[in-house]
Amino acid sequence: MSETIINNFSLISRLFGNLFYRSPTDSILDGVFGWLQQKGLEQVWPLDTDEDVRQALDSVQMTIAKEVLAQEYERLFAGEQPKIDSRISAYGLNVDEFINFRQTRRMPEVESADNFSLLLLTASWIEDNLDSISAQQELFESFLLPCASKFLTHVETYALLPFYRSLALLTREILAAMADELEENE
């Protein structure tokens, strides 16, 4: 199981990071929803599935009009008064420390590092580009886990459609599994 988790963690964290970061109508996500509707996530999901996870996978992979989902995205994460603050600074993280963490590892510069989604995308980048368990452990302990708990709770609380609630649940599951893997590697 652990090899499968590690092998698919990068793909899943990149996918989830982009789904939280971008509106469903963003052209970068053009093929993603088709892949999801073809049960692509289910095929790469490395964890055992209880009833809650099975329902969450089904909800994320169900057919939904991107325009409807984009309205939910706008209400939750964008718009003039979003229901959920996506900034990591809003959850007590020091953005300068996160930027330094990324720069130390020669990661590509980003326009704004103050976004939860970038934590997931950073985890994916580390998995793909560094052979460093210590970098993953530091990311998880210092940034990802302290922020994810609060951010994902807000998503589960304010999402009206099952898509984002389910995405939050699946994100919790994959992060918990990867955190366990990292702890075993200490």
pLDDT for the residue numbered 6: 52
Rounded to whole angstroms, the Cα distance separating 60 from 20 reads 12
Rounded to whole angstroms, the Cα distance separating 3 from 87 reads 32
Which CATH number goes with the domain that contains 100? 1.10.3480.10
161, HSE (Cβ side, Cα atoms, 13 Å): 22
pLDDT for the residue numbered 131: 79
pLDDT for the residue numbered 185: 76
Q: Residue 31's domain spans which residues?
A: 2-184
pTM of the model: 0.93
65, HSE (Cβ side, Cα atoms, 13 Å): 3
Cβ atoms 58, 51 nearer than 8 A: no
Residues of the chain under the 50 pLDDT cut: 1, 4-5
Tell me how many domains the chain contains: 1
